Amino acid sequence: MTTTILVTPFSNSSTPPVLQQSPEVNCSDLSSQSNGSAASNHLPDLLTSCFTMTFGTISNLAALGILAKSRGRFRRQSKAPFFYLTVALLLADLGGHLILGAFALHMHIKKRYTTSSNYNVKFCPFFGASMVFFGLCSLLIGCAMAIERCVAITLPFYHISTITVAHAQGIVLFLCSVPCALALLPVFGVGNYTIQFPDTWCFLEIHNPPTPVDKTLVMTFSCLGLTALTLSLLCNILSGLVLLQARIKSSSSTNPSARFARRGSSASSSSMFCSLDMEMIIQLAVITAVSCVCWGPFLVHITIIQHKLSLGVPANTEDGFTLLVTESCADRRGHQPKKRDIPSVLTHRMHNAASVSASLGSLGLLRLVGVSWSWSLAAGLGVYLGTRSWKYFYIAAKTAKRDINGLYVLCRVKLALWRYMHNGSNIPSIFTQVVKKHPNKPALIYEATGEVWTFTQLDEISNAVAHWARGQGWVSGDVVALFLESRPLQVALWLGLAKVGVEAALINFSLRCDPLLHCIGVSGSRAIVFGAELVDAMLEVNSAISQSMVRFCTGELSAEQLACLDAQPLDPVLATSPRHSPSPCVPPKGMNDRLFYIYTSGTTGLPKAAIVVHSRYYRIAAFGYYAFRMRTEDIIYDCLPLYHSAGNILGVGQCLIHGLTVVVKRKFSASRFWDDCIKYNCSVVQYIGEICRYLLSQPVRPSEKGHKVRLAIGNGLRPSVWEAFMERFGVTQIGEFYGATECNCSIANMDGKVGACGFNSRILPYVYPIRLVRVNEETMELLRDGRGLCVPCRPGEPGLLVGRIDQKDPLRRFDGYANQDATKKKIAHNVFKKDDCAYISGDVLVMDELGYMYFRDRSGDTFRWRGENVSTTEVEGIISNLLDQTDVAVYGVAVPGVEGKAGMAAIADASESFDCDKFLKNIQRALPSYARPVFLRTSPQVDTTGTFKIQKTRLQREGFDPRLTSDQLYYLNSRAGRYEPIDEELYNAIVEGRIPL
C-alpha cells in the first residue's frame, strides 16, 4: 500500500511546493527581491511540481502492479474487501496526482511567463472541483479501509459473514459520490471556486466574508475530512492494540505443540494474528499519519477561519497555511512581509511535514515490494534526511550531550525550589541545615587578616545580628543599608537581618556624594551600617542624610568621629548579643519574599535597587554549582565585591547553600591573585569584567602555574582573552555565564565553548523560554510583526535577549526594582504571544546555529557610522589587544551636521607613552575604515565601575570638547593620514563643518 497518497495533492494544490529548498530561508533577503527576480523564483516551484507529480504517479502505478501480482493473497473473503478498497484508493490518488499535478504545472508556467492576473480564471472551477473530489475521496476511502480492518480484527466472525466485496463496492461508490456532489455544486453555480494565494491552486472561497452557501460548502468539506481523519486514527489505534495484545499472548505460550498448531493454522479465527494482518495495519497507520500531516493543519485552519469570519473578524487574503508563517517573514525593519516573500517562508515551515510524508511513503512502498524492515526504515530515514535537511540531525548530534546536561541542571534546580517552597523554607533555614552538616568546617576565610569563620561561628554571629536588629524595633519588611568593604561580617549582617525578616540594601562602597545618597534613599532604609574605612564618604553626605536614620559603625573609629556622624559602635553590641537562634519572624518569609537589595552597576545612569527574593538567591547559587560541576570540597577565591551578585550570591552562595569554603578578598589585587590561590589551596576562582585581562597584563610569576585552580567562573570574559588565559595560567575550565541580578533569562556556558556566554537548545527551545528578538539598532526599540508580536532573530542575527515572565514560576519570575517606574521600563508586552510579558535584558547577543550565544553589546553601546553598525565591544577588544591589554573605552559621539555618530576611543596611558602613528598603522590593519576611531582620548586611567566594567557616561557627555577635559584629545585627519591634537580652534572647525570627517 503506497503512503504517498496525499503528498502531491497537498504539495501541488493546497500550498506552494514544500520540497524545493533548504529550510534556511532569509526572509529579509526575499523581501528585497525585485519583481523581475521574483518571477525567476518560480522555477524551483515548477520543478517540484513536476517531481511530486511524477513520483506520485510512479509510486501509485508500482503499488497497483504489486497488488495485481499479490492478488492471490487476497482471494480469501476476509481480505477481498480490503483489496478492493486499496485499489480504489490507489486509483483515486493516481488520478489526483495526474489531474491536480497537470493543473498545478499549468498555473506555475502561466504565473512565470504571464503578468496578467486573470490567466487561470477559466479553468479554476475544474481545478477547484478536482481538488475537492480527489482530496476528499482519499480521506474517506482511507477511513473506510481503517474501519474495515478494525472490524476484521476485533470482530472476525462478524466481518466474514457480513462484509463482502459487494459491500465494499457499494461503499466505494457512495464515498466517491459524496465528494463528487460537493465538488460539482460550485461548477453549477452553487458556491464559488477562487484562485488561492500564491496563485498556483484553486479551492472554495475561504477568506473573504463568505455567502451562506460558500460557508456551508467549506464547513462540509472540513468536517468530512476531519471526521475521516479522526475515525481512521481511532480505528488504527484500536486495531494495533488488539494485535499487540494477541502477539503478547501468543509469545507467552509455553506449549510448543500449541504454538506449532497456531503457526500452521490458516482457517481458524487466529488468522487475524498473521503477518498479513500486521502489515496491513502498519500500512494503514502510515497512510493515516501522512493524511494527518498533510491535511490536518489545512482542515483545522479553514475551520478556524470560518469561525473567525462568522464572528466578524477579518481574515487575510493568503491561504490558511500562509497565515501560520506570515509573522516570521517580517523584514529587518519590522515590516509585514510582502506576498511574494511568503511562498519561500511557507516552504520553510511546511518542509518538515512534507519530508515526513515522503519518508513514510517510501517506507510503505518498500515494505510492499518485500524489502526487509531494517532496509525499509533506513531508506525512509534517508528520504527524510534528503528532503528536509541534514542540519537538524547534525545540530541534534552536536548538542545532545549539552542539552541533556542543561535539562538535568534545570530540572534539579526547579525540583529543589519546589521542595523548599512546599516546605516553607528560606535562605536562613537552608543555611541552618548546612550548619548541621558541616559545623566545624571553615565557611569564610578573610584574606586581609587570615581570620577563619566556621559554619557554626557564622551562624552564631548572624544570630547575634538578628537579636540586635530585633532589639532596635525593626520588623519584617524594614530595610537597613550596608555600606562597608568586603568582609565576612557583611555576610553575617545581611544573613542575620534576614533571619528576622529585615532586608539589607547592599551599597557599592565606591560610591560618593549624590550616587551614594541616591542609593540610601531609593531603598527606604531605616538605618545604615558603615565600615570605619568609609568614614570620609559618610562625612561627605552626613548632613544630607535624614536625622531619623540610625547610624552604626563597624571597625575602629574615634569618639569624635562617631559623635560627628551621630553614629553608634556596632561591634561591642554584637559581642554581647545572644548567640542562639532567634524566634521566627512574623509573618514568616518564604522563597518568594524579599531577601535584600543589590544595586545595578550604574553604567547607564544612577544605580537601581534590584529586588532579590530568597528563590532568586537560591537559583543563582544552585545553577552555578550544578552547571559548572562544583564540589563540596572546593575552596572558592572570591575577590569580587560582596555588594554585587557575582560575589555575594554566586560566590558566597556556595558557602551558605552547598557548604563550600569561600575566601573573601577585601579588594582585588592582580599581583597577589595567584599567590592567594596557592596560600589557601583554592580550586575555584571568580572573575568579572576585565579581571582576566588585568591578570594577563601582569608580568610572568612562578605562582601562576603552581596553583590548583581548575575552574574560573564569571562573566564578561572577552573571546580574545579566553584561550590566552587558559593557556598561560593552566585553568582547565571556564564557567562563563550571562545574567543580571534581576533578570530571568540567565544562561551559562556549561561545556566551555570559547567565546560563548551561554546557550539555549535549538532542539527544545521552549523548555527555557528565552529569545533573541529584533530591535532598531539605533533606538533599541523592539520591532514588531503584523500581529504586533516581537520578531525572533535567526541564527547569526544580533538581537535583544528577552525572557518570558511567569510570576508563579521561581525560574521565570521578575521582581524588578524598588522603583516601580524602573521596573515597568524593563517589561515588554506581546513578545512571545498576545497579552504576555517578558523581561528586557537591554543586552544584544548573537546565537549561532548550535544555540550558543555570544555577547555583542549592551543597550546603547552600538552606534552607526558611515552606514554601518559599529560594535563597541568588538572594537574595544581589538584595540585592547593591540595595546597589550590596556583599558579602552569605545563609544559614539555626535558631530553637528553629520549623520550617525563618530567613533571615539578613550585609552589608559599612565606612562604618557602613547604613540599615535604606531596606533594608526595597527588599527588600519585590524579594523575596517568605518570602525576606526575618529577621535582619541588618552588619560592616566579609564573610569570603571566597582565590578570592573568600563564606565562611559562621563566620557560620552564630554565628547571631544577640549574645554571639558584636561585629557589629551586627537582627531583622525584621514587626508593627511595621521591623528592630530585637538585644540579649541580645531574643535570649532569640526563643529562648524569646515573640516569634513
How many beta carbons lie within 10 A of that of residue 732, not counting itself?
10
* Strands ordered across the beta sheet of 978-981: 888-894, 901-908, 935-939, 968-973, 978-981
Residue 542 CA to residue 531 CA, distance in Å, equals 14
The answer to whether 681 and 710 are in contact (CB under 8 A) is no
Q: 136-148 pLDDT, tens per residue? A: 888 888 888 888 7
Residue 714 CA to residue 262 CA, distance in Å, equals 69
Examine the pLDDT at 623 and tell me if it is beyond 70.
yes
Output the DSSP codes for 849-909: TTSEEEEEEETT--EEETTEEE-HHHHHHHHHHHTTS--EEEEEEE-TT-SSEEEEEEEE-
Q: 451-473 pLDDT, tens per residue? A: 999 999 999 999 999 999 999 99
| pLDDT at residue 727, rounded to an integer | 94
Q: Coil, strand or helix: which one is 758?
A: strand
* Same domain flag for 147 and 204: yes
- Residue 489's nearest CA partner among 524, 536, 435, 451 is 451
| 284 vs 429, more confident | 429
Out of 101-115, 212-226, 754-768, 849-863, pick the least confident.
101-115
| 602 vs 846, more confident | 846
* Strands ordered across the beta sheet of 733-738: 451-454, 442-446, 661-664, 635-638, 684-688, 711-715, 733-738, 747-748
| 611 bridge partner residues | 597
Q: Is 400 a domain residue? A: no
Cell numbers found for residue 19? 520540497
| 365 vs 806, more confident | 806
| 973 vs 86, more confident | 973
| Final residue in a domain of this structure, among 290, 311, 332 | 311
Position 181 confidence tier, pLDDT thresholds 50, 70, 90: confident
| pLDDT at residue 336, rounded to an integer | 38
Where b means 16+ CB within 10 Å and e means fewer, 376-402 reads beebbeebbbebbbeebeebeeebeeb
Average pLDDT, integer, range 862-877: 76
Examine the pLDDT at 270 and tell me if it is beyond 50.
no
* Same domain flag for 869 and 938: yes
| pLDDT at residue 525, rounded to an integer | 95
Out of 586-595, 870-879, 959-968, pick the least confident.
870-879
The answer to whether 293 and 90 are in contact (CB under 8 A) is no
Q: Is 374 a domain residue? A: no
| pLDDT at residue 268, rounded to an integer | 41
Q: 789-798 pLDDT, tens per residue? A: 999 999 999 9
| pLDDT at residue 31, rounded to an integer | 35
Average pLDDT, integer, range 107-133: 66
* Same domain flag for 894 and 833: no
- Strand 635-638 and strand 868-870: pairing? unpaired
Position 405 confidence tier, pLDDT thresholds 50, 70, 90: very high
Residue where the block lists cell 554601518? 868
- Strand 799-804 and strand 837-847: pairing? antiparallel
* Same domain flag for 537 and 560: yes
Average pLDDT, integer, range 617-639: 97
Examine the pLDDT at 276 and tell me if it is beyond 80.
no
Average pLDDT, integer, range 180-204: 77
H helix or E strand, kind and range, residue 945: none
Examine the pLDDT at 552 and tell me if it is beyond 60.
yes
- Residue 344's nearest CA partner among 44, 54, 46 is 44
* Same domain flag for 458 and 520: yes
Average pLDDT, integer, range 587-605: 85
* Same domain flag for 475 and 567: yes
Range among 27-36, 256-265, 833-842 rated most confident:
833-842
Q: Is 73 a domain residue? A: yes
* Same domain flag for 831 and 930: no
| Final residue in a domain of this structure, among 667, 695, 728 | 667
Residue 715 CA to residue 748 CA, distance in Å, equals 9
| pLDDT at residue 140, rounded to an integer | 87
Position 87 confidence tier, pLDDT thresholds 50, 70, 90: confident
* Same domain flag for 575 and 528: yes
Q: Is 284 a domain residue? A: yes
CATH number of the domain bearing residue 880: 3.30.300.30
| pLDDT at residue 953, rounded to an integer | 75
* Same domain flag for 199 and 66: yes
* Same domain flag for 866 and 834: no
Q: H helices of 448-557, where?
A: 455-471, 488-499, 513-522, 535-541
| 485 vs 924, more confident | 485
CATH number of the domain bearing residue 544: 3.40.50.980
Average pLDDT, integer, range 7-17: 30
Cell numbers found for residue 771? 529569545
Q: Tell me the angle at which helices 614-627 and 391-423 cross, rounded to the nearest 10 degrees.
A: 140
| pLDDT at residue 110, rounded to an integer | 65
CATH number of the domain bearing residue 807: 2.30.38.10
Q: Is 372 a domain residue? A: no
Position 332 confidence tier, pLDDT thresholds 50, 70, 90: very low
* Same domain flag for 806 and 819: yes
CATH number of the domain bearing residue 183: 1.20.1070.10
Domain around 602: 424-667
Q: Is 548 a domain residue? A: yes
Backbone angles phi, psi at 950, to 5 degrees: -65, 130
* Same domain flag for 888 and 845: no
> pTM of the predicted model, to two decimals?
0.63
Out of 54-58, 159-163, 266-270, 273-277, pick the least confident.
266-270
Q: Coil, strand or helix: which one is 580?
A: coil
Q: How many domains does the chain divide into?
A: 4
Average pLDDT, integer, range 193-209: 70
| Final residue in a domain of this structure, among 634, 667, 700 | 667
Residue 932 CA to residue 903 CA, distance in Å, equals 7
Q: Coil, strand or helix: which one is 411?
A: helix
Q: 369-379 pLDDT, tens per residue? A: 454 555 555 55
Average pLDDT, integer, range 7-20: 30
Q: Is 699 a domain residue? A: no
| pLDDT at residue 135, rounded to an integer | 79
User: Residues, the chain, total?
Assistant: 997
Residues sharing a CB contact under 8 Å with residue 837, sequence separation 6 or more, in sequence order: 804, 805, 827, 828, 829, 831
Q: Is 725 a domain residue? A: no
